[in-house]
Amino acid sequence: MDNRDAVREFLASRRAKITPEQSGLPVYGAKRRVPGLRRGEVAMLAGVSVEYYTRLERGNLSGVSEGVLEAVARALQLDDAERSHLFDLARAAAPGSRARRRPRPAESVRRSVQLSLNAITSAPAFVRNGRMDILAANPLGYALYSEMYAGAARPANHARFIFLDARSHSFYPDWERAANDTVAILRTEAGRDPYDRGLTDLVGELSTRSEEFRTLWAAHNVREHYTGVKNLHHPVVGDLHLMYEAMDVSADAGLSLLIYTAEPGSPSEDALRLLASWASTNRQVKEAEAAAAVDKA
């Protein structure tokens, strides 16, 4: 991924979203030819010269100070996720950034991580990397995402499921929101590590195969994914309203542990119990079939 292109398009897209009225600038009668703020207006709000800000918006963040980045973030009224993304883009543009890039994302989890997942018995839990590959889960986590695992591709990937699998439209009642969030998470990860070949390949694949993904990717929206709610429709247990928490796996760079919980006493808690029973029954059937196959052999 070309960092200069990402910088240029991100700054231009944020500038287009802020009106002079929102920035407290006077508006005169002449019709404006550009949406949002002009470059000169952003430069004035940030306290830098028009020439310097133009250099930044052309994609050159090399050597820019934290003070200038903060001033630009304030001028563009960036939220926390957007501000972090701008700083990530600047770090990636710094001289020698390739040599200091993040460790290669893990492709699997350590045994102790899997055992920790298995110890979580009443809530779906899984470990995911920045590309949204599910690398490991507990039995309830696999059961929750059984639709995703119905496909042949491994590791199972949230983004591929949402944009390339028709089952995702029934699994996510608000598919548009899920799609927007997914692309924003991937765009955030791309800012942190534009040299991740696996992520570049994934974005290229989705851009080629999904018009919806191409449109959302071009919007340059970013999002942090630490806490929130998920509304899902599971084909076996029906509607689920789940809260989630995401935590970094501190010993493994780039991996996150996500745990989904239901409100105590809610229909969703009952549905999770039913899902756990269904998963256990399926597992017992498969083990019995495997044992019978061994006996016949």
Q: What angle do CA 160, 274, 119 make, to 5 degrees?
A: 75
Beta bridge partners of 244: 228, 260
At 134-179, the pLDDT tens digits run: 999 999 999 999 999 988 788 999 999 999 999 999 999 999 999 9
CATH 3.30.450.180 occupies which residues in the chain?
111-290
Give the pair of three-digit tokens for residue 131: 């590309």
Share of the chain above pLDDT 70, in %: 90
CATH class of 111-290: alpha beta
At 45-94, the pLDDT tens digits run: 999 999 999 999 999 998 899 999 999 999 999 999 999 999 999 998 88
At 11-38, the pLDDT tens digits run: 999 999 999 989 998 877 667 777 799 9
CATH 1.10.260.40 occupies which residues in the chain?
3-93
Report the amino acid identity of residue 177.
R
Higher pLDDT, 225 or 262: 262
- Topology, domain 3-93: 434 Repressor (Amino-terminal Domain) (1.10.260)
Phi and psi at 160, nearest 5°, equal -60, -40
